[in-house]
Structure 1
Amino acid sequence: MASETDVSPLSFEDALKELEGIVEQLERGDVALEESIKIYERGAALKLHCQNKLQNAKLKIEQIVLKQNGDVETTAADVEA
């Protein structure tokens, strides 16, 4: 069975949406301490998952840059993290 912090099957968009919900819950402060700890752990896993997805996307963009004549050139993209 997957742990409660296993976020690997989630898309970037789903993970980000869930993370936003967790932030809202924690900001409201209406969650019991033990539950806050559990959802904070989940939020940390979601944050890392989103960061990794963005990093992978950035690397793909850096590897696929079309030259004006249509040839593929490997180069670094000007994308900020």
Structure 2
Amino acid sequence: MTESKEERNKAYWAANLRLITIILCIWATVSYGFGILLRPYLMSFTVGGADLGFWFAQQGSIYTFVCLIFFYAWRMNKLDKKFGLEE
């Protein structure tokens, strides 16, 4: 019984780390990639009077971060239910 519980805990932790890794990659791509590294390529597009790279650096990364917070909470609730850890 304890071995299956340990395996379940390891699977839960692995799924949690996978989700965190994906979310951090998305955040880094939007924040650093679009706002800094790809800004010269995104300057030809405008959003609200500013080029797209500047918009991502100033507001887009914040909006993405907030969306990722809600996405993480939603996915963790589903993960908790899957592993029987819901409140």
Q: Could you tell me the TM-score, scaled by structure 1's length?
A: 0.44
Q: Could you tell me the TM-score, scaled by structure 2's length?
A: 0.42
More helix by share: 2
